[in-house]
Amino acid sequence: MIRDRTKYGAVRTDGFASKREAHRYRELRLLERSGVITGLECQVAFELQAPASTGTLATVGRYIADFVYIENGRKVVEDAKGVRTHLYQWKRRHFEIQYGMPITEV
């Protein structure tokens, strides 16, 4: 049996994980074409690291941003969120501390 819906009810659309994500991508492409944003990338992975007992940094996970782009000379990391799971909330906090920038939720 093939499932069309995910655990939280999102429906894959145009190769994206949800209708919300696909719609946001179309909006961002229009903004890129009009020159408001530049360098639009999809599904960008960021390593999440923490200090190990050896004093080095160890990778403890990854956060995959839905979209990353430049707006007004500033890098924007964006997530088209439907359900804010505990794991996502942890990754968002870890990302913001490690990389010193917020995740914009739409």
pLDDT for 91: 97
User: How do residues 26-59 score in pLDDT, each as one tens digit?
Assistant: 999 999 999 999 999 999 999 999 999 999 999 9
Asked if the model's pLDDT at residue 61 lies above 60, the reply is yes
Asked if the model's pLDDT at residue 12 lies above 60, the reply is yes
3-state secondary structure the chain: CCCCECCCCCECECCECCHHHHHHHHHHHHHHHCCCEEEEEEEEEEEEEEECCCCCEEEEEEEEEEEEEEECCEEEEEECCCCCCHHHHHHHHHHHHHHCCCEEEC
pLDDT for 9: 62
Average pLDDT over residues 7-14: 66
Residue 76's nearest CA partner among 53, 94, 56, 99 is: 99
Query: What is the value of pTM for the model shown?
Result: 0.85
